[in-house]
Chain A
């Protein structure tokens, strides 16, 4: 399972600590707050979003879970938000799905369901690059974070692998022995719009020739070598969970 950065906000201290114990035991990185306002200041203190997932209570003093999420999304537009509420038959809570929660979970929480849900957030990645060393280091990074990944050194092989598995994200190097990464991405975006694409290149000056492309056929993100692994992880997670 991918190691996730999880924010828990529940005015019940015992629940924060319990979930934190469980999720940390599964290797996640957990931060919790009993006060919605201090949760917000934690988020606002950072330059960028430092959480992948937020598990929020609904009924809290000062601010309810839905209002809190609205504020969280200002900094973390793509955070996966789970509402954990004892008031699930409440209309206000039902509205919360419209308010941007990805999932509503009833209290008492079914922890195995929560873990399954988190596991489902782990992206399946394909990396197409002829630089074996780069592939090896990516493999280690992915493994340490619990991300499942396949690797391919050329386009032909990559096309076959794509058929066999349901990848969330495909990373493609710009210069490949049997063709051009931009063309490959265009092809993938055309045939499999459900797959998110990232273009990787060490030659930023060669990118410009494709800028006239229609947005749907362009890569969802572009990374320049040397890449920042932590940033790459965040983008992969964000892209893979945009569709869910």
Chain B
């Protein structure tokens, strides 16, 4: 993030405000530009968490503070001891990195050599200064979160954070004890406060490490899945290509082609192109499934729309298949992105239609299960064999001769992104129930 055209204090102020409220910061910046033209660069990529997530994380920090028994006095004591320890900071920092340099596994991730180490020393200096400033605000917490994220990025084992912080803790405590001239009880209290803040720091770094690690793992799993899916798609797309190729061969090479035959082959090529397009669409839906853009939506409306979109009026099976939608909730609203949920429920509804062979009964129930809002789609169709139940959510698994096996995988990916839970209950010959449990709103 770069802020040009402002005085230094103003820049600092804006930088601070930007962290919590970018909109307000922009207004502030424009108001104080004094005729100069400010340039504001919002580097969204470096925002590891959304503002909302950061706010909720700050709440969590409050909980962690309460857990270790943190009080405002701790902050006061830590701030008071700063002038005693700060002259020793350079020494502590040198020791910190000298130890790292002696540790093969730790030094392995520092690929930038001494330049990187000098930069890291600066970061550590600002980190340790901040520690003793006594302002344990959102910015403070955000800085600690960044440390954890960074460690995942560079691939540093979390164990080194623990031992390095332990070493730093010893240095700090020894310095305080050595230089302390006051009351011994107060010394003990100060040491406790310092230990508390260091433990909190460690907890935040650990948290951030976990979050970033899980995120990275998910991404890797996703890439692996996409790789697997693309392989399957390659196979699947060869079928329509085969049709196109043979039809074109016939049109080019056959001796006497009747008009009827020509038309037939041309429409066959068109159909094969449409089929390929469907496959490609399914793949791109799967590969580029974005984070859902959550808005408040009505579950009943969503289901009605899904049915309208997927079970077209006038289709021959319409009269033989019975749909019922029942809602037992007074408030059927959830947070979700309807475009994505339409795809997901569309797949479930279409599967149900196949399962009943377009002539059975499909009941959609909107209600509550385990205290969560739920949409359940129940059919009295052929059911799923027990061995297959576990596999139906896997990409490329299909029991339909013409299926690609992406439908339910996409569906699951969408529900995962909504933090909704998909459960499957099925008995061969009796039917299946797919239930989607949405998270309680506060958890979203």
Contact = CB atoms under 8 A, between A and B. Distances in A.
Interface of A: 11-12, 14-15, 17-19, 21-22, 25, 60-61, 84, 86-87, 90, 106-112
Interface stretch (B80-88, B193-201, B239-247, B373-381): B239-247
Interface in B204-241: 235-236, 238-239, 241
A86 B401 contact: no
B238 A86 contact: yes
Given A18-B268, A60-B401, A111-B249, A25 B254 contact: yes
A32 B32 CA distance: 81
B108 interface: no
A18 B271 CA distance: 14
Contacts of B246: 15, 18-19, 22, 108-109, 111
Given A17-B268, A90-B235, A107-B238, 19 more contacts: A14-B272, A15-B246, A18-B250, A21-B250, A21-B261, A22-B250, A22-B254, A25-B253, A25-B254, A25-B255, A86-B235, A86-B239, A108-B238, A108-B242, A109-B242, A109-B246, A111-B249, A111-B253, A112-B249
A176 B238 CA distance: 57
A107 B249 contact: no
Contacts of B243: 12, 14-15, 18
A15 B242 contact: yes
A109 B272 CA distance: 15
Interface in B388-434: 401
A109 B245 contact: yes
B255 A18 contact: no
27 contacts: A12-B239, A12-B242, A14-B243, A14-B272, A15-B242, A17-B268, A18-B243, A18-B265, A18-B268, A21-B250, A21-B261, A21-B265, A22-B246, A22-B250, A22-B253, A25-B253, A60-B401, A84-B242, A86-B242, A106-B238, A107-B242, A108-B238, A108-B244, A108-B245, A109-B246, A110-B245, A111-B246
Contacts of A18: 243, 246-247, 250, 265, 268
Q: 6 smallest A-B Cβ distances: which pairs?
A: A86-B238, A61-B401, A18-B246, A108-B242, A108-B241, A108-B245
Contacts of B244: 108
A90 B236 CA distance: 13
Contacts of B254: 21-22, 25
B267 to A, nearest CB: 10
Contacts of B238: 86, 106-108
A90 B246 CA distance: 23
Contacts of A22: 246, 249-250, 253-254
Contacts of A19: 246
Contacts of A109: 242, 245-246
Nearest to B252: A111
A90 B243 CA distance: 21
A15 B250 CA distance: 12
B401 A11 contact: yes
A15 B242 CA distance: 7
Contacts of A14: 243, 247, 268, 271-272
A61 B403 CA distance: 11
Contacts of B268: 14, 17-18
A15 B253 CA distance: 17
Nearest to A111: B249
Name which of B236, B245, B250, B265 has the most chain A CB atoms within 10 A of its CB: B250
Nearest to B243: A14
Interface in B248-299: 249-250, 253-255, 261, 265, 268, 271-272
A22 B261 CA distance: 11
B23 to A, nearest CB: 53
Nearest to A112: B249
A52 B239 CA distance: 25
Nearest to A60: B401
